[in-house]
Amino acid sequence: MSTGKWFLQVEDEFGAAHQLRNYCGKCENLHGHNFKIRTQVSGTELDPDTGMLIDFKELKSCLGSVLTGLDHKFLNEVPAFKTVNPSSENIAAYVYAELKKKLETANIRLDWVMVAEKEGSRAFYTEE
């Protein structure tokens, strides 16, 4: 068996509206995005029965269950963003925290979460 490390990534998306507080510009107004989310997990031990770190289907399901709470919502009214600005940076941190709770297992590490409002504009969050 290998002594290396495996990295897995999955992607999903959700549509939502938000208004950026304390922002001087167009994004202070109500507007929406189809947010693209990507996440990466890693680990050094594969399940001996399946030869997998985690099933892609399971990882994507965990991510999807987090995003369901944001999809087709006005993010400023979601409890996590009542006082926290719903910026891409804060959305990434929120998704990271919620996904981490769902992936509590000894052999998987949540590396990062990426949020993209549009192609070419991405925010990453990780805990080192």
Contact 110, 103 (CB under 8 A): yes
Q: Which of 11, 8, 96 is nearest to 52 (CA)?
A: 8
Give me the pLDDT at residue 74, please. Answer: 98
pLDDT of res. 11: 98
Question: What does the DSSP assignment read for 7-23?
Answer: EEEEEEEEEEEE--TT-
Which pTM does this prediction carry?
Answer: 0.94
Q: Return the pLDDT at 27.
A: 84
Q: In the block, which residue shows the tokens 């590490």? A: 109
Domains of the chain, each with CATH number or no CATH: 6-125 (3.30.479.10)
Minimum mean pLDDT range among 7-16, 61-70, 85-94, 102-111: 102-111
Mean residue pLDDT of the chain comes to: 94
Residues designated catalytic: 27, 72, 117
Helical segments of the chain, H only: 56-68, 88-102
